[in-house]
Amino acid sequence: MSTIEDVARLAGLSRTTVSRVINNHPYVSESKKRVVLEAMEELGYVPNSSARSLRNQKTEIIAVFIPRVLNPFFSQFIESLEIASSERNYQLIVCQTQYSKTKELKYLNLLKTKQVDGVILASLENDWSKIEPYMEYGPIVLCNEFEENAKVPMIRLDQAFGGYIATKHLIEQGHKHIAYCCGGNRSNVAKERERGFKQALAEAGLPFDENAAFRDAFNIEDGKRVFRELKELNEKPTAVFTGADEVAAGIISEARKHGWNVPDELAVVGFDNQAITELLDPMITTVHQPVCEMAKKAMDVMIDKINRKIYHSLEIYQFPLKLIVRDSTVSREIVKV
């Protein structure tokens, strides 16, 4: 069985350097990391994680909190996070809160009891005052979700801009009565998208119709329900902004079932740019979120906080959003032009 000394000998480096690579020490050059990893692979050397954890007082495990595993955005986010964590010799565990404040706090005990080295919050159910005390036990990084009062790293998007560009696009297509969908009032992400939505309406001199606002739409079935409620309104919207591609897909599916033409009778905008947007007919206009890049940055920041043991530090990393125009808001003939 190969030892760390064998790896050092084959790599032509000191045992200390090899140990630093194995333990993700921040001050090792990429060339030396590559040489060590190649030597480890050639020798079939696997570090003793238990012994390493005892020495470093680390579990080499990071937890990520998400509301729903089945949401395509979070599924892609988890996959990207796992790849990033594996590259750094960390394991990732997924905690599904299902929008429960109780479950969120229960999972945070993993940090308190030192079962994980850090927590990435992709959703946030409790007030920050309930979350902050857990930072005594390790780093917390917010990714996707954000909190203005938190003194922690945040990897976020300009959600107000996303809501704005999607709504402005609908207005530019001539729509004056636009329905609004989101997944709840607690999320700051949803609040910011609604702010951008209202900003675009205000600039165009259009009112916000509270009767056409649906703030409990999370998935495909919710989207179907939203359409059924929407079609019963006395003043029917001609377009709808949704906070998720799943919801948009449900609306389009139910609209077609009832003989409505999308986009001629109802234009639909999604959010996330998930695979489902290109599988439906019509394909869904949506707002692209750079999920993979966000996940990688979140893991980079988390590893840095674990190594440096700096937990209370406000850092904001903001990624761009982009509108992807497809057939659900503009007829095929116009899109092709």
Q: Which CATH superfamily is domain 59-158+291-320 in?
A: Response regulator (3.40.50.2300)
pLDDT digits (tens, 9 = 90+) for 44-99: 888 765 455 545 568 999 999 999 999 999 999 999 999 999 999 999 999 999 99
Cα–Cα dist 43/225, whole Å: 58
Angle at 243 between CA 242 and CA 246, to 5 degrees: 80
Cα–Cα dist 281/256, whole Å: 10
Q: Is the dihedral of CA 194, 199, 200, 202 positive or negative?
A: positive
pTM of the model: 0.80
CA 246 → CA 6, 21, 249, 312, distances in Å? 52, 42, 5, 36
Confidence class for position 337, pLDDT limits 50, 70, 90: very low
State the average pLDDT over residues 6-15. 92
Examine the pLDDT at 335 and tell me if it is beyond 60.
no
pLDDT for 48: 66
Chain position carrying tokens 């079932």: 257
Examine the pLDDT at 161 and tell me if it is beyond 60.
yes
Residue ranges per domain, the chain?
4-47, 59-158+291-320, 159-289
Q: Do domains 59-158+291-320 and 159-289 have the same CATH topology?
A: yes
Examine the pLDDT at 273 and tell me if it is beyond 90.
yes
CATH of domain 4-47: 1.10.260.40
Cα–Cα dist 64/291, whole Å: 14
pLDDT for 53: 52
Look up residue 210 and give its two tokens: 């509270």
State the average pLDDT over residues 244-250. 97
Examine the pLDDT at 259 and tell me if it is beyond 50.
yes
Examine the pLDDT at 186 and tell me if it is beyond 60.
yes
Examine the pLDDT at 334 and tell me if it is beyond 50.
no
Cα–Cα dist 323/286, whole Å: 6
Cα–Cα dist 191/90, whole Å: 34
Cα–Cα dist 127/125, whole Å: 7
pLDDT, the chain, mean: 92
State the average pLDDT over residues 215-220. 92
Q: Which CATH superfamily is domain 159-289 in?
A: Response regulator (3.40.50.2300)
